Amino acid sequence: MVEAVIPKLDETTEAATVERWLVQEGERVEQGQAICEVETDKALVQVEAPAAGTLRRQLVAAGTEVPPLTVVALVGDPGEPIAEVDPFARTGGGAQSAAPAAGAQAGVSPAGASPAPAGPIASPRARRLAEELGVDLRTVTGTGPGGKITDRDVQRAAGS
């Protein structure tokens, strides 16, 4: 069994949200194939399969925010037993940060989020949505880590 891990893109990224799964459990993958998309405060990136095989298990549900280095999936042979894996073992978060497997709803916020700088901080998805809906991000109160504006915050602001 090989672990697919959210990469640590830079020293300042403290969290990433698993936006969507591109491959479902039981589907065949090739090494380097994108299996899910994750969004940080700076970019939307794809997590690649670390090896060829079958996506045996999604360990983090879409919509869940997790720290970099979180194990998000297991790739292996179809008949290979699935070992218990702590998705957060590499992050230093341990079991207290554990998010439920795919299909369950969760929101895990990393501890020690940085204070917000002077300008509005918004996820790339929230910025796109604000542009589409004509919402001025300076008028939106962020509810994400460190006061980051999420797409839900933009939707709330557009509705009021």
Q: How many residues does the chain have?
A: 160
- Percent of the chain topping pLDDT 70: 83
Rounded to two decimals, the pTM is: 0.59
What confidence tens digit (pLDDT) does each residue in 107-137 have?
333 333 333 344 778 877 888 888 899 999 8
82-119: burial string, b at 16+ Cβ within 10 Å, e else: eeeeebbebbebeeebbbeebeeeeebebeeeeeeeee
Kind plus residue range of the DSSP H or E element containing 133: helix 124-133
pLDDT band, residue 46 (cuts 50/70/90): very high
Task: Walk me through the domains of the chain, giving residue ranges and CATH numbers.
Answer: 2-97 (2.40.50.100), 124-159 (4.10.320.10)
At residue 7, what is the residue type?
A: P
